[in-house]
Structure 1
Amino acid sequence: MITDPELGEEWQTEALEPARSADGSAPRERATGGPGRRPWLWALGGAVVASAVWGGGLYAFGDRTAEPESSYRASKNLCQDFKAQALSGITGDMHSKKPLNLESDHPAVYAARCGLENAGKDGVAPDFEVVAQVALHKKTDPSAEFDAPDLRTLAYMGGVRTAAVPGLGERAVMNVTSGDWLLVLKVLDGGAVFTVEASASTYAEKNGRPATDVDAVQAAMIEDMRELMSTLKK
């Protein structure tokens, strides 16, 4: 394997001595006036050709992955499809305020996103926010990157606890940040990736909402995720 030089080590940039003939004389000048082609240029040319052939071979023989299978339809309004009934039962009605609905139909990925929050009373800010997202991959299989950590979560929200969630799609995980204030449920099923995020400013009683706990919120997220996947099933 060809590697870069070690850190702190420099490439040699001195001019190379021209190769000598068997009798020790220097090579003849070409008609153009330049020295004969140096052996290392032949090696370099061979490496370039080999790389081109190798790259072409990868392209020709399957480097392009097959289109992933998906048994889910695109959602034209995810906030209508994502009812969040279980979450609303413990956080207050998540649909009482105008939701934020977005969608993007890219040739590689169809994505839909819905942002909800419970209603604060008398101008009080909401204390629960929920975001649901669906990504339907059209060109490549998302399973290879499914377990990659979310850098936003790691950078801004401290340590993350991860646990597998059985019974949802092919694979599902629940990520819980330090302080339990952000929960992220991710599900992989074929070419589809579903995400539900729930963030809480407090689990204590507030705005007429009874106190709850992180376990109850996680259970509600799983129930609402299952309902969403069923709704979008073809």
Structure 2
Amino acid sequence: MITDPELGEEWQTEALEPARSGDRAPARERPTGGPGRRSWLWALGGAVVASAVWGGGSYALGDRTAEPETSYRASKNLCQDFTGRALSGITGDMHKKKPVNLESDHPALYAARCGLENAGKDGMAPDFDVVAQVALHKKTDPSAEFDAPDLRTIAYAGGVRTAAVPDLGERAVMNVMSGDTWLILKALDGGAVFTVEAGASTFAETNGRPATDADAVQAAMIEDMRELMSALKK
């Protein structure tokens, strides 16, 4: 059970206050005859400094091209590595229907995605969807942007609860939306970002699936993510 949200405040933005004319510093009068040598040298000096910063980025800003460390392997088939064992105990076997497996390998990022849905009883339509994703960053450290919400969660602003999940990778968060029936778990570990997403029309008993609650689903998601991370560990 996940309690005591550490990141539970709503995301808010504040409009910038327009500058008032009275706040502007009075302009200095400049001697006639052009900008003068002093201003020209200042501009030239700025260009030289900027060139030195970008040309010698390792010296001025640290080595920003260093590849992030990752201790996970690329998945040849994420739907085989992600069994969804704990979630299947709640939703029914998630592998009875053909899973949707996607993979992309780019010089900067390896990504894999597995989409699963339960099989409705007696031919009924599925009512529970699960998506697992893994992204292995090869060029840049993903930690700087990990806490930024994606556009889907921003669309639910005011109805999103975010809680930190302890002891899962370097850090992990659970986003709970849409009446507790849409859950997104993200975990960061080095250059790897794992995501498990679960959504249902309802957690009440339906189509032969027994009733459950959001806490049980969250616990199952965390357990299944631990197993996935363990399966992909080098």
- TM (norm. structure 1) is 0.80
CA contact (8 A) 1:157 1:178 kept: no
2-structure distance, mates of 1:165, 1:150: 18
TM-aligned CA deviation for residue 63 of structure 1 = 4.0
2-structure distance, mates of 1:119, 1:8: 63
1:3-57 CA-to-partner distances (Å, cap 9, x unmatched) read: xxx6687xxxxxx8742xxxxxxxxxxxxxxx89665344323322222223223
Q: Which amino acid aligns with 2:128?
A: F
1:195-229 CA-to-partner distances (Å, cap 9, x unmatched) read: 10001110111111111111111111111111111
TM-aligned CA deviation for residue 75 of structure 1 = 0.2
2-structure distance, mates of 1:123, 1:7: 64
1:43-92 CA-to-partner distances (Å, cap 9, x unmatched) read: 32332222222322324553424222211110011001100011011111
Q: Structure 1 stretch 79-88 or stretch 175-184: which is displaced more?
A: 175-184
2-structure distance, mates of 1:70, 1:54: 29
Equivalence for 2:226: 226
CA contact (8 A) 2:183 2:197 kept: yes
Equivalence for 1:3: none
Q: Which amino acid aligns with 2:102?
A: L
TM-aligned CA deviation for residue 122 of structure 1 = 5.0
TM-aligned CA deviation for residue 144 of structure 1 = 1.7
Q: Structure 1 stretch 169-178 or stretch 50-59: which is displaced more?
A: 50-59
TM-aligned CA deviation for residue 151 of structure 1 = 2.3
Q: Structure 1 stretch 79-88 or stretch 46-55: which is displaced more?
A: 46-55
5+ long unaligned stretches in structure 1: 1-5, 10-15, 20-34
Q: Structure 1 stretch 46-55 or stretch 137-146: which is displaced more?
A: 46-55
Equivalence for 2:24: none
1:145-171 CA-to-partner distances (Å, cap 9, x unmatched) read: 211122221214752211222221121
* Secondary structure of residue in 1 paired with 2:155: helix
CA contact (8 A) 2:196 2:221 kept: yes
Q: Structure 1 stretch 71-80 or stretch 54-63: which is displaced more?
A: 54-63
Equivalence for 1:206: 206
- TM (norm. structure 2) is 0.80
* Secondary structure of residue in 2 paired with 1:219: helix
Q: Which amino acid aligns with 1:40?
A: S
CA contact (8 A) 2:156 2:177 kept: no
Structure with larger Rg: 1
* Secondary structure of residue in 2 paired with 1:202: coil
- What is the correspondence of 1:171-190 to structure 2 with a 5 Å cutoff? 171-190=171-190
2-structure distance, mates of 1:118, 1:157: 29
Task: Give yes or no for the alignment of 1:47 onto 2:46.
Answer: yes
* Secondary structure of residue in 2 paired with 1:184: strand
**Alignment coverage as a number of residue pairs:** 212
Greater RCO, 1 or 2 (C-alpha within 8 Å, sep 6+): 2
Task: Give yes or no for the alignment of 1:58 onto 2:49.
Answer: no
- What is the correspondence of 1:11-22 to structure 2 with a 5 Å cutoff? 18-19=32-33
